[in-house]
Amino acid sequence: MKRQMSSVPTLLTIIAIILMSCRNERGKKPSSTHANTDIHPFEGTSAETATKFESEVVSLTESAEFGITFTADMKTLFFTSKRGEDKDFCIYTSRFENNKWQPAGIASFSGKYFDADAFIDPQDDKLYFFSMRPRGKDTIPLEMPNIWYTGKKEGSWAEPKMIKGDINSPTSGEGYLSLTKNGTMYFSTMGRLEGKQHDIFKSTSSDHMFSEPEYVEIDIDTSFSNPFISPDEDFLLIDSRQAGGLGGNDLYFVKRLRGNTWSKPVNIGPKINTPGDEGTPSLSPDGKWLFFSRDGDIYFISAEAALSDML
C-alpha cells in the first residue's frame, strides 16, 4: 500500500516562508501614520521680485501694515497695524502652524497704547519696540515715543519695561530700532539734534544697560529715518525722501567704511523702489529675505536679489 503525501507543509518549508517574508519587509520603507508637516514657512519660495507678503493675514487691503520682525525659527512674526476697532497702532502677531500663517491678533503686551516697530533680538530672546505708553507709575501717555522691551516669562510675554541706560529722552522721540550680533542698537530719533527732523544714533550695551548714544553721521541731503543695521554691523538700510529718488520714500544702502564712518547712501533701485513710498526695511533672522513696507503693505524679496549689487 502506497503511503499518501501529506498536504501539511514541512518545518523547513515554513522556515523558508518566514525568512522570505522578513527579507521583503526589510526592503520596504517604514510606513508612518502621521505625515511630516513641520516645514519651513519659506520652503519653496523664491521671490526674486518684490512680492506682497501674506495678503490674507498680514498685508490686508483695508488697513496699513509695516515694521515686521521674526523669531529665530521664522515661525512667529510681529508687525504694526491699526485694524477694526483699534484706537491706535498696535503690534500684531501670527504663528506658522499647519503649514500656514494663522490669523493675526494683537500681541499680549500691546493694544492699550500706541505701540509700533517691534524687533526681536535672537541673541537674548528679547522683543524691543517703541511706544507712547506712560512711564513708571504715570497714567498719562507720553507725547514722544520711547523704546521698551519685553521677554518671555513662563512661556508668555512679560509686562514691558523701558530699556535701561541713556537712550530714551523726555525731550526727544526714539523709534525704529535694530541690533547687531554684539548688542549695539541703532535707532531713529526725532528732536535730539536741533534743526533736524530724523537722525540715527547708536548705543552699545553691557549687562542690559545701554550707553550714551553716539550720532551716526551719514551724508544725505534730506531727513531720513527707520534704520536697519546688519547683524555684523557692516551696512545700514534706511528709508529717505530726497532728490534723485524714484518717487516718495525710497530705500537706500549705506556701507560702513571704518569705525563710525559711512559711505554715501545709494538708492537700492527699481527692484524695490517705486513712485510710491517704501520704508521700514528689515532682514529675516537667516539673512535670506529683505522685508519692507510699500504704501501701507508689507513686501518681501530675496536679499541676494535685492542687495547683491550693493555688497
Instruction: Render pLDDT for 99-131 as a digit per residue (tens, 0 to 9).
Output: 999 999 999 999 999 999 999 998 778 999 999
In the predicted structure, residue 260 carries a pLDDT above the cut 80: yes
Provide the pLDDT for residue 214: 94
Range of the domain at 254: 60-307
Q: Is residue 48 part of a domain?
A: no
Q: Is residue 52 part of a domain?
A: no
Q: Is residue 50 part of a domain?
A: no
> Could you tell me which residues are beta bridge partners of residue 239?
225, 251
Q: How many domains does the chain have?
A: 1
pLDDT in tens, 2-23: 344 444 444 333 333 333 443 4
> Could you tell me which residues are beta bridge partners of residue 145?
none
| Predicted model pTM | 0.85
**Does residue 206 contact residue 184 with C-beta atoms inside 8 Å?**
no
Q: Is residue 38 part of a domain?
A: no
In the predicted structure, residue 25 carries a pLDDT above the cut 60: no
Q: Is residue 216 part of a domain?
A: yes
Q: How confident is the model at residue 311 (pLDDT cuts 50, 70, 90)?
A: confident
Cell numbers given for 3: 503511503
What phi and psi values does residue 61 have, to the nearest 5 degrees? Answer: -65, -35
Q: Which of 302, 305, 262, 310 is nearest to 283 (CA)?
A: 302
pLDDT in tens, 50-64: 999 999 999 999 999
Q: Is residue 77 part of a domain?
A: yes
What's the sign of the alpha-carbon dihedral 198, 199, 204, 210? negative
Q: Is residue 222 part of a domain?
A: yes
Greater model confidence, 206 or 272: 272
Q: Is residue 12 part of a domain?
A: no
- Residue 270 sits in a domain whose CATH number is 2.120.10.30
Cα pseudo-dihedral 19, 21, 23, 29, rounded to 10 = -160
Rounded Cα distance between 53 and 302, Å, is: 12
